Amino acid sequence: GAPPLLRRMYRIAKGRDPTSDNAPFRIMQWNILAQALGTHADNFVSCPPSALDWKSRRFRILEEILFYNPDIICLQEVDHFKFFERALKAQGFEGYFVPKPDSPCIYLPENNGPDGCALFYRSSRFELVELNTKILEVWKVQSNQVAIMAVLRDIISGKEFVVLTTHLKARQGALLASLRHEQGMDLLSFLEEFRQKRPSIVCGDFNAEPNEPVYEVMTNSNPKLSSAYARLNDGEELPYSTWKIRGSGEIKHNIDYIFFTEDQLTVEGGLDMPTEMEIGPERVPSAAYPSDHFSLICDFSFNVHQSFAL
Ligand code: NDP
Ligand code: CA
């Protein structure tokens, strides 16, 4: 049988009281690895094929989601939306999907259609106010990357806020970094167009390490966003959010983020990454973890004093 899923430690943010009664909500950000890409494009040379068998892998993905019990789930590389929609609906979630315009999945054998971004929210906790989707533009031309945004109303507090998720252009190099830079700026103008000063959370697979221009754009523009994991770790970003071995070599870096408007929201805590020992020499995906990206999970609460009108 398969080993238990990798489990992570929960870190309480400095100066926060985990017993306080401020009704935090939990958000999960996760590139789940498209089935078509994982089996026919990624070349994960140390991953046992059985770990990539969709018949079991889909339930490992669901197990990871449901074990941590997030209230909002932001996923990338979703090429089986109907499966997750049906499974998560039974758990009380409403979900939306936006496919990439020309997904690489559709050119691969045994594909299940295009991959894209998905956003789910717990309907007992939130009401949908508005949903928007966007094909990100690069120098005013549509790219192959998308974003999905939900304006939600928290039923407990009555407060409205925005959750946006995306998956930026992959691969290394100066040109690709400048594409991501452009996509980041378009993402922020999309956010500005609809957020109307509401508290905002922007998460995704940005395919960019913290030293890339797009990270600077996200954290130093309007609105002013902060990285949740940097906030949890004394200003330091995670050492890795993905760690895999392809035929071309080992790749270990931090490219996934949860950004938030810090003047309006507080990070109460979040899940750490598993250690190198826990991950094991084969890295991920593996029998113990179903994607090459680890999920990011944070608890947020609304700040008491904030400058937005309801
Ligand atoms: P991206 O560069 O954004 O990459 C797409 C996906 O590939 C991402 O999910 C990324 O994962 C993954 N990826 C990154 N590095 C590798 C790697 N070394 N090996 C395998 N997968 C990797 O691509 P675009 O979305 O811009 O689309 C690619 C274009 O290529 C599309 O226009 C598509 O039509 C075209 N295409 C055409 C094919 C054909 O046969 N004609 C075949 C394939 C693609 P992550 O974010 O996790 O890094
Ligand atoms: Ca991938």
CA of 10 from ligand 2 middle (Å) equals 26
The candidate with the shortest Cα–Cα distance to 63, out of 303, 291, 305, is 291
The candidate with the shortest Cα–Cα distance to 294, out of 266, 252, 232, is 252
Q: What are the φ and ψ backbone dihedral angles of 94, each rounded to 5 degrees?
A: -105, 140
CB 62 within 8 A of CB 28: no
Pocket test for ligand 1, best of 30, 31, 37 (most atoms within 8 A of CB): 37
Which residue is associated with the tokens 């945004």?
149
* Predicted confidence (pLDDT) at residue 23 exceeds the cutoff of 60: yes
What mean pLDDT value characterizes the chain? Answer: 96
The candidate with the shortest Cα–Cα distance to 24, out of 308, 309, 305, 299, is 299
Average pLDDT over residues 19-25: 89
pLDDT in tens, 74-124: 999 999 999 999 999 999 999 999 999 999 999 999 999 999 999 999 999
Rounded CA-CA distance 237/232 in Å is: 9
**Within its chain, how far is the Cα of 136 from the centroid?**
17
Burial (0-12, 13-18, 19+ Cβ within 10 Å), 14: exposed
Please give the span between the terminal C-alpha atoms of the chain, in angstroms, as a whole number: 52
Rounded CA-CA distance 88/39 in Å is: 24
Rounded CA-CA distance 265/184 in Å is: 21
pLDDT in tens, 39-71: 999 999 999 999 999 999 999 999 999 999 999
CA of 37 from ligand 2 middle (Å) equals 7
Q: At 281, list the tokens.
A: 């020499």
ipTM of this predicted structure = 0.93
Q: What are the φ and ψ backbone dihedral angles of 296, each rounded to 5 degrees?
A: -105, 135
CB 296 within 8 A of CB 29: yes
**pLDDT at residue 22, rounded to an integer:** 86
Average pLDDT over residues 192-208: 98
Rounded CA-CA distance 249/71 in Å is: 36
Residue 211's contacts (CB-CB under 8 Å, 6 or more residues apart) are: none
Using alpha carbons only, how large is the chain's radius of gyration in Å? Answer: 18
Number of residues that make up the chain: 310
Average pLDDT over residues 117-140: 98
Beta carbon of 253 within 6 Å of any ligand 1 atom: no
CA of 12 from ligand 1 middle (Å) equals 37
pLDDT in tens, 226-255: 999 999 999 999 999 999 999 999 999 999
Residue ranges of E strands in 168-227: 200-205, 226-227
Pocket test for ligand 1, best of 30, 40, 42 (most atoms within 8 A of CB): 42
Q: At 237, list the tokens.
A: 């970003």
Indicate the pLDDT class of residue 5, thresholds 50, 70 and 90.
very high
**pLDDT at residue 309, rounded to an integer:** 45
Beta carbon of 231 within 6 Å of any ligand 1 atom: no
pLDDT in tens, 140-182: 999 999 999 999 999 999 999 999 999 999 999 999 999 999 9
Beta carbon of 79 within 6 Å of any ligand 1 atom: no
Closest residue by CA, ligand 1 atom 46: 170
CA distances, 243 to each of 101, 285, 293 (Å)? 27, 9, 7
CA distances, 244 to each of 65, 104, 173, 240, 248 (Å)? 21, 20, 19, 10, 11
Beta carbon of 176 within 6 Å of any ligand 1 atom: no
Q: At 117, list the tokens.
A: 């971004």
* Predicted confidence (pLDDT) at residue 305 exceeds the cutoff of 80: no
pLDDT in tens, 258-300: 999 999 999 999 999 999 999 999 999 999 999 999 999 999 9
The yes/no answer on whether domain 23-302 falls in CATH 3.60.10.10 is yes
CA of 124 from ligand 2 middle (Å) equals 32
Q: What percent of the chain has pLDDT over 70?
A: 98
The candidate with the shortest Cα–Cα distance to 79, out of 125, 25, 132, 32, is 32
